[in-house]
């Protein structure tokens, strides 16, 4: 099933996700549907709030973008489904342009940790611990932000906000009309 993607202005994006705990068939189905939705929209990551849900589930697949990325992404099998993810440790910093399916056509420079030690529950219910860097680390941090109700707009500088204010306003207007 393909979900409709919620865009900026939709209140659900500000909700904090709830811990899943036990991985049920319903959660597995939801993760599958999120992956389908992400691929259909050419995204590399998607979080539950973006499809109107509030379970702590997010998905990432950077294999399409990996060609020009020098990360250790090969160490982690794609797609990556993260249930109850937690960042346990970070190191380094780097800045790069980032987009978000909830902010179509908006790209901003975001400063993120370069390397992340990540814990999450996989779809078999096993707790996993991995270290990721590069684009994968960036995508993981972006999706975990979503689960905390933190959005790309919160990462923008004042200058960037001004530069995209017209587009932000249009998105808000559209979300309001859809409610």
What amino acid positions are annotated as catalytic residues?
A: 143
Query: Any residues with CB less than 8 A from the CB of 104 and at least 6 apart, and which?
Result: 7, 171
Span of 25-33, 93-101, 108-116, 125-133 interacting with Co ion by CB under 5 A: 93-101
Residue, CB closest to Co ion: 100
The per-residue b/e assignment along 46-66, b for 16 or more CB within 10 angstroms, e otherwise, is bbbbbbebebbbbbbbbeeeb
The least CB distance from residue 142 to Co ion, in Å, is 5
Which CB, 100 or 137, lies closer to Co ion?
Answer: 100
| Contact flag: residue 147 with Co ion (CB under 5 A) | no
Size of the site for Co ion (CB under 5 A): 1
Q: Is 100 in the site for Co ion (CB under 5 A)?
A: yes
Three-state DSSP at 121 gives strand
59 near Co ion (CB under 5 A): no
Residue tagged 């859809």 (tokens): 178
56 is a contact residue toward Co ion (CB under 5 A): no
Secondary structure, 3-state, 23-67: CCHHHHHHHHHHHHHHHHCCCCEEEHHHHCCCECEEEECCCCCHH
Considering the complex, state which of residue 26 and residue 109 has its C-beta at the smaller distance from Co ion: 109
Query: What's the min distance (Å) between Cβ of 115 and Co ion?
Result: 21
Residues that bind Co ion (CB under 5 A): 100
């Amino acid at each position: 099933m393909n979900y409709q993607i919620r865009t900026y202005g939709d209140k659900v994006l500000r909700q904090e996700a709830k811990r899943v705990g036990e991985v049920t068939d319903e959660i597995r189905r939801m993760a599958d549907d999120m992956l389908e939705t992400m691929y259909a929209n050419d995204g590399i990551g998607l979080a539950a709030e973006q499809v109107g849900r509030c379970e702590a589930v997010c998905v990432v697949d950077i294999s399409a973008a990996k060609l020009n990325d020098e990360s250790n992404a090969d160490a982690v099998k794609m797609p990556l489904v993260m249930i109850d993810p937690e960042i346990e440790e970070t190191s380094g910093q780097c800045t790069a342009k980032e987009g978000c399916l909830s902010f179509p056509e908006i790209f901003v420079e975001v400063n993120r940790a370069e390397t992340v030690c990540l814990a999450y529950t996989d779809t078999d219910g096993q707790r996993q611990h991995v270290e990721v860097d590069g684009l994968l680390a960036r995508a993981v941090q972006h999706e975990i932000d979503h689960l905390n109700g933190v959005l790309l707009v919160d990462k923008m500088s004042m200058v960037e906000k001004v530069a995209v204010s017209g587009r932000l306003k249009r998105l808000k207007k559209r979300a309001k009309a859809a409610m």
